[in-house]
Structures are given as C-alpha cells and as structure tokens.
A and B are shown apart, each in its own frame.
Chain A
Amino acid sequence: MKFVRNSKIFYMYCLALTVLFLVSACGAGANGTLSQTAGDVQAGSNADTAQAGGQEEAPASFTIFRMESSNTTIPPEDTPVGKKLQELTNVNISIEYLVGTDVRQKASLMIAGGDYPDLILPADASGDFLAAGAFVNLSEWIEGSENLKNNYTDVEMNLMKASSDDGGIYWLPCGGKANEDRLYPAAGYYLNMDLLKENDYPVVTSFEQWQDLVIDYVKKHPDYNGQTTIGFTLPTEGWRASGLQYGGSRFLAGYPNDGVTVVDQETLEMKLIMDQDFEKDFFRMINRMWNEGAADKEMFMQTNDQYNQKISSGRVVSLYDQRSMFIDALNALGDAKLYDRMLVAWPAVLDGVDTERYRGPRNFSAGSGLGITTSCKDPERLFEFLDTVASEEVQKLLYWGVEGEDYTMDGGKMTRGADQWANALSTDYKNKQGLEKFNTLFWFKGALETFSTGEPVDPTKTQEYADLRYQDYEKEFLGHYNVSTFCDLFNPSYDAYYEPGWAIRQKIPTDNPGKVAIETALEITREWAPKMAQGTPDAFDGIWDAYVAELDKLPLGEYLDLANKMILETADIYKN
C-alpha cells in the first residue's frame, strides 16, 4: 500500500514539473524579458520613493557593463575611491566586465538577449547597439545638464551628433577626448636595450635598418638564458592579430592610425590597408625574418598569454605592438630587473617616406562611449548621476584619488608627497585604492585639459611625473640620445582635422554588408599571413598575388565608400 501512495505522489510531481517547464518556456518566448536584474528593480522602486522623500533621497542602483576585461580581482566600486564616488553621487553602481576578449561575440549575445544592463561602455560594438535600438537619445538631457553641457566644445558636440543618422547623441564619448602619450609612445617597432647598446645606441628610423639590426643580433646571440633567442614575434590570437593584419604596416608608409584603412593626409581619400604595397613590404619583412631564422616559430599559433610570457622571459629581441597591450609583460621584465631586455619603440619607415605619424593626431573620437540602455528603469536618474560624475569635484576624485590619502591640498594646489607618488605608481595600490580605475570609464575630462583651479587634470601628463616614473636605467638610456622622454624619439602629435578611421569603423554596425566584407578580409589576411611568412623569398611574390586575388573577390568598395563619406563629413565639422 505504501508503495502505491508514494508512486502516486511521484506521478503528480512529474506532471507538475512538466506543466512548469511548459509554462516557463512559452512565457519566456512571449515576453522575452522575464528576468530582470535586481538593480533594475531596485532602481525603479527607489526612484518612486525619491520623489516623495525630497532631500533624504534613497541611493539608486545601476548596473554597468564595460566591454573590456578587468586586470584586477578587486571590484573598483568596493575601493575607497569607489565608495567615495557612490557617496558623492548617492548612487550605487556595480560594474561587470567582459570575460575574455571577444567584444563582437559578447555584443551579439547581449543584443540577441535584448536585456541590457543600465549603462554600457560598448568599445568597438557601439554601432551594433545603436542599430539594435539599445540606446536612449541623450541630446535633450545634455542641453539641460549642469556639467556635461559645458564639457564639450562645439566641434565635439557636432561630432557626437554626426555619429548617428538622426542627429541624436546616444553615448557620451569615453576615451575619445583629445589625448596624447607623454612618456611612452603608443606603438612602434620595438628593439631591446641590449641590442641598442651593442650597436652604440643608433637612432632607428629606417625599416631596413631595423630588420638588419635584429637579424645581426640574433646571429650573434642565438641563445638567451639557455633558451633560443626570439628575434621577432607578433601577437596573432583572434582580435590581437590586428598588428599583423593591418596595424604594423600603416606607420611604415607614414600614415597615422586609421583602423583597417589609411587616409590620405591631403585629399582624405581612404584606402584599405590589406592589399597595399606597404602591407606587402611588412609581410616581406616577416618572410625575411622567418627565412633568416630570426622569427618566432610559434608566432602564428600562440595565445596572447604565451606571447606575453615570451616577452617577460626576456627572450624577445623585437616586435611590433601597441604598448598598452603588452604592458604587463614589460612590467614583469622590470620586476625581474631584466633591464637590458626592456623593449624600446622606434618610428621605422620605408625608404622614401618623409614624415612618420606614429603618435598621430590628438583627436576627439565620438565613435564609442557610455550609453544608457532602453532596459534602464530610470534613465533620467542615471543621466543625473553621469552629470554629477562630470563635475570637477568628482573628476578630481577619479583622477587624483581621495584627498588626504592620495594627494594633499597645499595652499589651494594639489600636491603629492614622495609616499603618495610611490603609491600612485604602484599597480597594487591603485587596484586596492581604486585610483585611476574610474577615470577611463567616466572619461569626461580630457587628460590634457586643466581644471578651473588651474591644475592639470591628469597629473601623469606632467614633467614632474616623468621624472618620478622613469627609472634610473631609463634615464641613462635616454641620456645616450639626449632626449627627456621616449616620445621625443618620435614626431610630436598634432591637432586632428578629421575623425580617425577606427572610430568610423566602430560606428558602422557589424551586419552592414561592407563591414562583413572587411571582417572577412581580416580573416583571410590572418589565414594567409603564415603562408606569406613561411614561403621561400623567391615564392613570396607569387603567394602575395594569390592572397590579393582572394581579397579582390570581396565587395570591399562598399565599406570604403561609406567610411570615406563619413570621414569627409567629420572633416567639414572641423573646418567650420
């Protein structure tokens, strides 16, 4: 008897489960947004009470998604600076980061799900979110804002409006305020210090010369620390392959960074990099390195981690990359005191190129930025929060840290003592304190600007900082060249007169046929690069021709026409 009763309960239970499954499956299909983040709900209810409560406003909560991977395990919002930020603004924020590196995949998944966090910093996927209607138009709120309105010049405001079809502003540009590197150039052809020392500190400006130096050095020093010396390597994993696909070659021909394209500096005519002659010269260099035995044999099959590991071991003699991408490896070299293996960037150009533009223009890019999503329950409150963050008080907190801890006010001027500078230079401390963890998220003040009190916004752009930041071996090295910073080895930055090509690429949605063709072309380049590298020098021309024939099958003109039109529009904004 007992068994029968139990089995009955069991059947009923199964039936109930089935019904539950069905209901939930159909329900989700119909509404699409059954699940909401706790933050949304909280924000909504808080907003209601806020209106009734007056002065004693309850803190609102917002979720933020940042399309960048985090380099610390400490959530910035839990640090002293983060807490202070939330106290000043009366808003609780929780920041989620990209896991891994595939921005495009994450963006597609978020859009397909249709359930967004309140605020997104979309990196390269801004055009996708805009095309999917994920962002709220901010134009009117900016007009009526207290701080943000005054934060942008007329040109900047017009560029922001030009980034959408309907003239609305859908994001607050972040990381796009005019900026330049003062201590280390952003990109270049790197050589290690030991090689430069052996050759009596030559000034490297020619691409040929750069290659010869590397090949000679590898022949003289086949081993380092018991392992083979790696003459030349490049990151080739997924999105990190950009240096290989197009990033490395454009500077050789004297162009600035315009993404997958180069823009003629006079006529503003746009060309795709992947089939240009200077790209051929770049691949011929890799081919030469490979055949001379200087190239990294694992180059085309390494992960980004392996790449960084090789640099940290000191085995790598030369490479092309953007400094911020392998900064961790350089720091590891510094920590291990392998100073002679430290890599220095050089502005190598091809024969016949007069001007190099490695450091490029100080440009303002409206290509991407913080956007409030349609999923946000109280977008006005969120915008209010952003407006408060744009105030000088909060921006000082984000750039300088907590007063009394990270800096002291001395006679109305911001100063840092030796201890405070030491802290400000320590990655560990910055992670714990939250120092400089928010200024690139809520990047409303340009690093080169000054506050109304007269101090520079970013204390790391001053000569005082350079003197502190450079270590003795770096100062000694610079002494051999009679320059005061590594940037002085390059041509200076200049004022922008059009919006950079990479920002244009961000603004075009992924499913645009022209952009699909570009992405396909990039895949083809990544596929053909090893073939071009590993062929014999005699076979190189043939492989190149086959590769270009492969590219020619794609409708690449469509993208170029569209992007060129957008560049010319932004150039007009600068002119007026």
Chain B
Amino acid sequence: MRTNASKWLKTLYAQRQLVVLSLPVLFLLVFNYYPLWGWLIAFQDYKIGKNLTLFQQKWVGLDNFISIFTDSRFYSALVNTMGMGLLKIIFSYLFTLTLAVLINEIRLLRFKKAVQTISYLPHFVSWVVAANLLFVVFSPDNGIINLILMRLGIIDQTIPFMGMPSIFWLVVAFSEVWKSSGYGAIIYLSAMTAIDPVLYESADIDGAGRVRKIFSVTLPSIMPTVKILLVLTIGRLLSVGFEQVYLLRTAMTMSTGTTLEIYIYEFALRYAQYSKGAALSIFNSAISLALIFISHMTLKYFDQEGVF
C-alpha cells in the first residue's frame, strides 16, 4: 500500500507540469460544462422556488421548443440578431484592420502613440455611459449633431438618429466600431510587429511603394491572425452584445432592436419562463456551434486551395 501511494505521488510529481496544465481544463469543466445540467429544464415546465429538485418538475417534452418556434416575435428577433451580427462583423473587421494598418504606417512615434491611445479609450467606457453619450449627442432635441446639421442647412428638420428603426442595425454596428476598433487594432498591430523586416527590404528593392507594401507584405503576413479571429467571431454571431443593444433600444426601435438575447431575457427573467429561456439558449448554442464548424471548414477549404 505504502509503496503504491508513494509511487503515485512520485508519478504525480514527475508529471507536475501536466497537472498544472490540467487546471484550465478543470476550470472549463466546472464553469462551462457542469452548468449544462440546467439544459434539462428546457424539457420541463420548470417552477422556481418550490424547493422541488430537477427531477420532481413536470416534464413536457418539446412543448417549449414548439411554442417558441411558433412565435412570430422569435423570428423577428432572429432576423435582427443575424442582421446586427453580420453588420457588426463586417464593419468592425473593415475598420479595425484599416485602423491597424494606418496606425502602423505612422512614422512619427509620438503621434502614433496619441492616435492609439485616443482610439482605444472608448473601449474602457462602460456601455451605460457610452449609450447615454450617444443619446445626448444624437438627440433630436438640442443634440449637437442635429444642431450642426441644422445650422449648416443640410437638414431642415431634426433627425432622431437613435430612434429610427430602419437604421438601428447600423447604429449598433457603428457604435461598436467606435467603441472597439481601437482596442481590436492592438492585436493586429502586435501581429504586424512580428513581420520580418527582410520582407519589407526586399519589397523596397523590388521597387514597391508604400501602398504596394501594405497589400503585398503587411496584410498577407497578418492573415493567419485575421482568420483565427474571424472563426472565433463568427461563432459568436448570435451573441451581439446584450447590454449594448438593450441600452440603445427604445420604444421607437423595438421592432428592429429586439435580439435573441433580449427575447430570452424577457422570457426567462421578466416573465419567469425559465424553461423557454433554457430552450432558447440551447437553440442559440446549437446555431453557434454550427457556425463555428462552417466557418472553420470554409477557411480550411480555401487554405488548401491557396486562395490567400
């Protein structure tokens, strides 16, 4: 017995690095997989607070899923989420990459630092503050943007930018760009510092100008980073940021501003329909998983063909 125990301890010690490495996995299991038990309530008529255990609740099969999939509000929420998600990905990629490249091209170090600081500052502002700021700036009632446009004679009536259902997806996408592109650019900038200067030198010798170098050296070199980030972002297409949309949404923009997350929140927390909330979460996870696989496989396919 004693020898067994000491042998076990010895092995444990010998593989101590592996033991430490398993910590994150444990963390993942405890906090991300253990709660999956809760998915069971999606198939129940779950009542809280009655001191019933999970297995004493009433089982209802797929009723919750059926009632969700027959609700027209669910489909409009789904469309809104997809729309906002896509716009967000497209614009934040475009702007973040452009910003990173432009910052990279700045030669004056002091100016570069200043631009970088200013552009990533909004990232540290909470959405509560940021949303209120947007409402004040874009207000049709003495908001500065409307005042400027009015004085310049561009418009003759104030425009309620934050209250137009037709542009609400864009408002969400661009407020995200404003808030996060500076911070996102840091990752690309660090990828750019890792580019071998030899490549630029040889491009110089070949007579490439600055623009040529951006497209032929800088961008191709950071493509692996871009692709990895893209796969990860597409997986989160359906989570478009609860607090942002919730705070920017008003009575005016409810039709285009209700996302799946808000829909879940209203069902689960406000109307105490926890089972439906769980069913929606399962749906959400399934879609996300599918999206990750699709984007991953697409990228892999193109990679082998050597498109990039």
Complex CA distance for A128 and B160, rounded to whole angstroms: 39
| A527 contacts partner chain B, Cβ-Cβ < 8 Å | yes
Cross-chain contact A21 with B27 (CB below 8 angstroms): yes
Q: Report A-chain residues with C-beta under 8 Å of the C-beta of B48.
A: 108, 111-112, 114, 132
Task: Mark out the residues of chain A between 101 and 144 whose CB falls within 8 Å of any chain B CB in the assembled complex.
Answer: 102, 104-105, 108-109, 111-112, 114, 128, 131-134
| CB of B146, distance to nearest CB on chain A (Å) | 10
B271: contacting residue among A112, A519, A529, CB under 8 A: A519
Kindly provide the distance from the CB of B259 to the nearest chain A CB, expressed in whole angstroms: 14
**Inter-chain contact B30/A298, CB cutoff 8 Å:** no
Distance to closest chain A CB from B273 (angstroms): 6
| A301-B135 contact, Cβ under 8 Å, with A114-B49, A227-B142, A530-B163 | yes
What's the minimum C-beta distance from A286 to chain B, rounded to whole angstroms? 12
Of A132, A527, A529, most buried by chain B (CB within 10 Å of CB) is A527
Partner of B141, one of A11, A114, A297, A527: A297
Whether B155 is near chain A, meaning CB under 8 Å from some CB there, is: no
Q: How many of chain B's residues touch chain A, expressed as a range?
A: 35 or more
Chain B residues numbered 32-90 whose CB sits less than 8 Å from any CB in chain A: 34, 47-51, 72-73
A108 touches B140 (CB 8 A): no
Whether A22 and B254, one on each chain, are in contact in the complex, defined by CB atoms closer than 8 angstroms, is no
User: Inside 8 A of B50's CB, which chain A residues have their CB?
Assistant: 132-133
Chain A residues with CB under 8 Å of B132's CB are: 303
Question: A368 vs B47: C-alpha distance in the bound complex, in angstroms?
Answer: 21
A21 interface neighbour in B20, B26, B135, Cβ under 8 Å: B26
B254 touches A523 (CB 8 A): yes
Q: Does B19 contact A (CB under 8 A)?
A: yes
Q: Which residues of B contact A562 (CB under 8 A)?
A: none
Q: How far is the CB of A128 from chain B (nearest CB, A)?
A: 7
Query: A511 within 8 Å of B by Cβ?
Result: yes
**Residue from the list A112, A227, A300 in contact with B251, Cβ < 8 A:** A300
Identify B49's interface contact among A134, A228, A301, A529, CB under 8 A: A134
Verify if A291 is at the interface (C-beta below 8 Å from B): no
With A133-B50, A296-B141, A519-B270 as known contacts, state yes or no: A301 contacts B251, CB within 8 Å: yes
Q: How far is the CA of A568 from the CA of B254 in the complex (A)?
A: 37
Residues from chain B with Cβ under 8 Å of A134 in the complex: 49
**CB neighbours of A485 from chain B (8 A):** none
Q: Is A270 an interface residue (CB 8 A)?
A: no
**B-chain residues with CB within 8 Å of residue A301 when the two chains form the complex:** 135, 160, 162-163, 250-253
User: Contact partner of A527 among B20, B158, B254, B270, CB < 8 A?
Assistant: B254
> Chain A residue with minimal CB distance to B139?
A298
- Which residues A213-242 have CB closer than 8 A to chain B? 227-228, 236-237, 241
Q: How far is the CA of A15 from the CA of B270 in the complex (A)?
A: 41
> Which chain A positions have C-beta within 8 A of B295?
none
CB closest chain-B residue, reference A306: B135
Instruction: Check A58 for interface membership: any CB of B closer than 8 A.
Output: no
A228 close to B251 (CB less than 8 A): no
In angstroms, Cα B30 to Cα A511, docked, is: 31
Nearest chain A CB to B68 CB, angstrom units: 13
Whether B251 contacts A527 by the Cβ 8 Å rule is yes
- Note all chain B residues with C-beta closer than 8 A to A244: 251
Q: Are B140 and A298 in contact (CB under 8 A)?
A: yes
Query: Any chain B CB within 8 A of the CB of A478?
Result: no
What is the minimal beta-carbon distance from A200 to any residue of chain B, in angstroms? 31
Q: Is A516 an interface residue (CB 8 A)?
A: yes
Q: Which residue of B lies closest to A553 (CB)?
A: B72
User: Are B269 and A530 touching (Cβ within 8 A)?
Assistant: no
Report yes or no: B30 in contact with A25, Cβ–Cβ below 8 A.
yes
Query: Please, which residues of chain A bring their CB within 8 A of the CB of B23?
Result: 14, 18
In the complex, whether B255 has a CB less than 8 A from a CB of chain A is: yes
**Interface presence of B228 (CB below 8 A):** no
Contacts A128-B272, A300-B163; is A526 near B251 (CB within 8 Å)? Answer: yes
Q: How far is the CA of A303 from the CA of B72 in the complex (A)?
A: 28
Q: Counting CB contacts under 8 A, is B266 at the interface? A: yes
**CB-defined interface of A1-13 with B at 8 Å, one 1/0 digit per residue?**
0000000100100
Contacts of A297 in B (CB 8 A): 140-141, 158, 160
Task: Say whether A109 contacts B26, CB under 8 Å.
Answer: no
Tell me, rounded to whole Å, the shortest Cβ–Cβ distance linking A20 to chain B.
Answer: 11
Q: How far is the CB of A244 from chain B (nearest CB, A)?
A: 8
Whether A261 is near chain B, meaning CB under 8 Å from some CB there, is no
A509 within 8 A of B: yes
- A134 to B49 CA separation, bound complex (whole angstroms): 7
Residue of B nearest to A32 (CB): B51
Q: How long is the Cα–Cα vector from A133 to B48 in the complex, in angstroms?
A: 9
**B51, A133: Cβ atoms closer than 8 Å:** yes
Q: Which residue on chain A has the smallest CB distance to residue B135?
A: A301
Interface residues of A in 296-322 (CB under 8 A from B): 296-298, 300-303, 306
Which chain B residues (203-257) contact chain A, with CB distance < 8 Å? 250-255
- A443-474 to B contact mask, C-beta < 8 Å, 1/0: 00000000000000000000000000000000
In chain B, positions 110-136 with a C-beta closer than 8 Å to chain A are 132, 135
Smallest CB gap from A529: residue in B: B251
Inter-subunit contact B26/A133 (CB<8 Å)? no
Cβ of B300 within 8 Å of any chain A Cβ, yes or no, is no
Q: In the complex, which residues of chain B have a beta carbon less than 8 angstroms from the beta carbon of A25?
A: 30-31, 34
Asked if A108 and B269 sit within 8 Å, CB to CB, the answer is yes
Contacts of B163 in A (CB 8 A): 298, 300-301, 530
| Complex contacts, B26 vs chain A, CB 8 Å | 18, 21-22
A-B contact pairs, 24 of them (CB 8 A): A14-B23, A21-B26, A25-B34, A105-B269, A108-B48, A108-B272, A111-B48, A112-B48, A114-B51, A133-B51, A237-B250, A298-B141, A300-B163, A300-B250, A300-B252, A301-B250, A301-B253, A510-B272, A511-B271, A511-B272, A511-B273, A516-B273, A520-B73, A523-B254
Known: A297-B140, A527-B255. 15 other contacts (CB 8 A): A14-B23, A18-B23, A112-B274, A114-B49, A114-B51, A228-B141, A236-B251, A244-B251, A298-B139, A298-B160, A300-B252, A520-B73, A526-B251, A527-B254, A530-B251
A residues sitting closer than 8 Å to B (CB atoms) are 8, 11, 14-15, 18, 21-22, 25, 102, 104-105, 108-109, 111-112, 114, 128, 131-134, 227-228, 236-237, 241, 244, 296-298, 300-303, 306, 509-511, 515-516, 519-520, 523, 526-527, 529-530, 553
On B, residues with C-beta under 8 Å from A are 16, 19-20, 23, 26-27, 30-31, 34, 47-51, 72-73, 132, 135, 139-142, 158, 160, 162-163, 250-255, 266, 268-274
